[in-house]
Amino acid sequence: MSGIIFDLDGTLIDSAPDIHAGITAALRQENLPVTTFEQTRSFIGRGVPALISQVFAAKGIAEEPDLVARLTARFHKIYQTAVNLTLLYPGAEACLRALHADGFQLGLCTNKPEKPTLAVLDHFGIKELFSGFAYGDGPYPCKPDPAPVRHVTEMLHARHFLYVGDSETDATTAQNSGLPIALYTEGYRKAPVDQLYHDASFSHFDQLRAIIDRLVPLPE
């Protein structure tokens, strides 16, 4: 049996518009300068604490503990249900449904917190396709630490695994976990593809099945 473990933001979904809207609203509530969309997009992938820290650094704001805590709380309140501006990448849902129907075990390993993750999965009606989950606020370090990937592999009934992600964080996560990775090139990656650890790359989900068939065995 084979398991396919997916990243979420920048891999299955383009959530940057919702994340930017949320952090903009939180900053304005604190009367702080806001980041541009492109700045916010570049901060996605390492979890909410890293996002907040990068926002503060970009705007030259001192990370005073009380201010960080207030801004984080404001952002979380908005972020928990932020789905209206988020889109699935073209072909992602069809690919997931086909893999699930063919007997692959699917897992999700994201640095996004649990509540907004489940909100977006429910919004698109795809939560039931996954059998294992790891979140950015789980009882383990965030990616690129291998612990969340190991958590997902323990939840899946599989012997072989492939990781699918889009970013520097995902490439390092797969490398740290000893897993092959298919790199989605249309997400939030900043470095050139050839500078990142990967076994294959793809620009549309129509291309992923051929990669999977090459890198991991078919379900028994």
Handedness of CA 91, 92, 93, 99 (dihedral sign): positive
Q: Does residue 55 contact residue 27 with C-beta atoms inside 8 Å?
A: yes
Residues 6+ apart with CB under 8 A from 121: 108, 127, 130
Handedness of CA 212, 215, 216, 217 (dihedral sign): positive
**Amino acid in position 107:** G
For residue 66, indicate whether it is catalytic: no
Structure tokens at 13: 């979904």
- Picking from 154, 207, 149, 204, the residue whose alpha carbon sits closest to that of residue 175 is 149
DSSP string, 148-178: HHHHHHHHS--SEEEEEE-SHHHHHHHHHHT
Pairing of strands 181-184, 13-14: unpaired
Measured CA distances, 127 to 51, 163, 164 (Å): 25, 18, 17
Tell me which residues are annotated as active site.
Answer: 7
